């Protein structure tokens, strides 16, 4: 059977026609800025485009992955601070435009399902995905089932408090993990280092033409890969934050695998090695319990669309 997966990201809306975890066709449009009506239209365009590409074959439905708190029924985005959305009935708005069953999913839950069914964790029944991007997203599979919680908004691991009275988070609280271990945190620290004027930051500064505001996460990775110690150290510190948080999650969840995904995972071993070391150093019961493995995600940017489509296929009535 075929299903459509759609991933609403900050810059693009990506869609795919999926069978058995394989992408058969793709569609994408730019994300219109912050206007819900325009986003509904764009999502509709992507879905209709893919329906057309199905060549008359039956499509089971469309799963739509988006950042934020999605209700248990998969109908409403309750809260998405980065998009300034509250109580947005996205499913009904899209369903009014297309003739298909629709289901909304949190972006990281969808990606976790993708990695669990078809990616890096396909050999395990218990896995936790940590997506390191603008924020830290989470998806938890326990005994083969996606953990959603009572209201549907569970697994928001980026909002574990890791620092008392720490930095203010977009969610309104202070000290959330994603303020320290996300791609945004990496960029913030790199910009601070450049602004400090230290000669240590010369190559980072060169990568953004001397304008710290122009620096992006990918620049930090690139400079680190070229051997710059300051950039490598920033990624190392990010890895330590991620590893320490992962150890706390493992104390609660006991996953067989912790999978690291999201844009920043492109940093590869520069990020994974310090994360693994910090994870092992902080894992409770270390030395007396089996090690959960910590690995990089394998579906890359496709985890969201593959996962959103696969949930539709796996949970169809």
111 binds Zn ion per the rule CB under 5 A: no
Residue placing its CB nearer to ligand BMX in the complex, 52 or 172 = 172
- Interface residues for ligand BMX in 129-168 (CB under 6 A)? 131, 133-135, 137, 156, 158
# chain residues binding ligand BMX, by CB under 6 A: 18
Q: Where are the alpha helices (DSSP H) in the chain?
A: 36-53, 90-95, 107-118, 178-181, 183-195, 202-207, 217-225, 229-253, 269-282, 303-314
Residue placing its CB nearer to ligand BMX in the complex, 119 or 137 = 137
19: which residues sit within 8 A by CB, 6+ positions away?
Answer: 1, 2, 3
User: Of these, 160, 171, 256, 295, which contacts Zn ion (CB under 5 A)?
Assistant: 171
**Least separation, in Å, of the C-beta of 182 and Zn ion?**
10
> Between the CA of residue 226 and those of 46, 207, 272, 290, what are the distances in Å?
38, 11, 17, 36
> How would you class 152 by CB atoms within 10 Å of its CB: exposed for 0-12, middle for 13-18, buried for 19 or more?
buried
3-state secondary structure of 150: coil
Segment lying near Zn ion (by CB under 5 A), choices 51-59, 78-86, 159-167, 303-311: 159-167
170 token code pair: 């977009």
- Interface residues for ligand BMX in 237-266 (CB under 6 A)? 262
Segment lying near Zn ion (by CB under 5 A), choices 125-133, 157-165, 272-280, 288-296: 157-165
**Least separation, in Å, of the C-beta of 184 and ligand BMX?**
8
In sequence order, what DSSP letters do the residues of 19-73 get, joined into one string? ETTEEEEEEEEEPPSS-HHHHHHHHHHHHHHHHHHTTT--EEEEEEEESSEE-TT
Site string for ligand BMX, 85-114 (x = CB under 6 A): ---------------------xxx------
80 binds Zn ion per the rule CB under 5 A: no
Rounded-to-10 torsion of CA 204, 232, 251, 259: 90
**Least separation, in Å, of the C-beta of 57 and ligand BMX?**
31
**Least separation, in Å, of the C-beta of 173 and ligand BMX?**
11
CA 9: distance to chain centroid? 10
293, containing H or E segment:
strand 293-296
The site partner of 135 among ligand BMX, Zn ion, none (C-beta below 5 to 8 Å per kind) is ligand BMX
- Interface residues for ligand BMX in 189-228 (CB under 6 A)? none
Query: Rule CB under 5 A: which residues touch Zn ion?
Result: 159, 169, 171, 173, 176
């Amino acid at each position: 059977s075929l299903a459509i997966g759609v991933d609403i990201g900050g810059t693009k809306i990506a869609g795919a026609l999926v069978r058995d975890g394989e992408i058969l066709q793709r569609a994408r449009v730019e994300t219109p800025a912050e206007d819900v009506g325009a986003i509904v239209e764009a999502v509709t365009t992507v879905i209709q485009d893919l329906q057309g590409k199905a060549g008359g074959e039956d499509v089971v439905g469309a799963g739509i992955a988006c950042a934020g708190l999605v209700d248990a029924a998969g109908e409403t985005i309750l809260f998405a601070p980065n998009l300034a959305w509250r109580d947005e009935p996205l499913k009904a708005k899209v369903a009014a435009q297309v003739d298909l069953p629709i289901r909304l999913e949190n972006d990281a839950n969808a990606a976790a399902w993708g990695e669990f069914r078809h990616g890096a964790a396909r050999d395990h029944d218990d896995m936790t995905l940590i997506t390191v991007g603008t924020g830290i997203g989470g998806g938890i599979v326990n005994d083969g089932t996606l953990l959603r919680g009572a209201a549907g908004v569970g697994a928001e691991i980026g909002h574990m408090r890791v620092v008392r009275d720490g930095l203010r988070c977009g969610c309104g609280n202070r000290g959330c993990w994603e303020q320290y271990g996300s791609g945004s945190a990496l960029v913030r620290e790199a910009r601070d280092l450049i602004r400090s004027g230290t000669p240590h930051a010369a190559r980072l500064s060169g990568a953004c033409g001397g304008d710290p505001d122009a620096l992006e996460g990918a620049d930090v990775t690139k400079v680190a890969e070229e051997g710059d110690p300051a950039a490598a150290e920033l990624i190392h510190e990010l890895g330590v934050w991620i590893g320490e948080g992962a150890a706390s999650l493992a104390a609660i969840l006991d996953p067989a695998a912790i999978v690291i995904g999201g844009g920043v995972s492109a940093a590869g071993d520069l990020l994974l090695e310090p994360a693994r070391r910090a994870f092992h150093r902080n894992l409770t019961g270390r030395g007396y319990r089996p090690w959960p493995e910590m690995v990089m995600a394998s579906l890359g940017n496709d985890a969201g669309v593959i996962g959103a489509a696969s949930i539709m296929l796996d949970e169809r009535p």
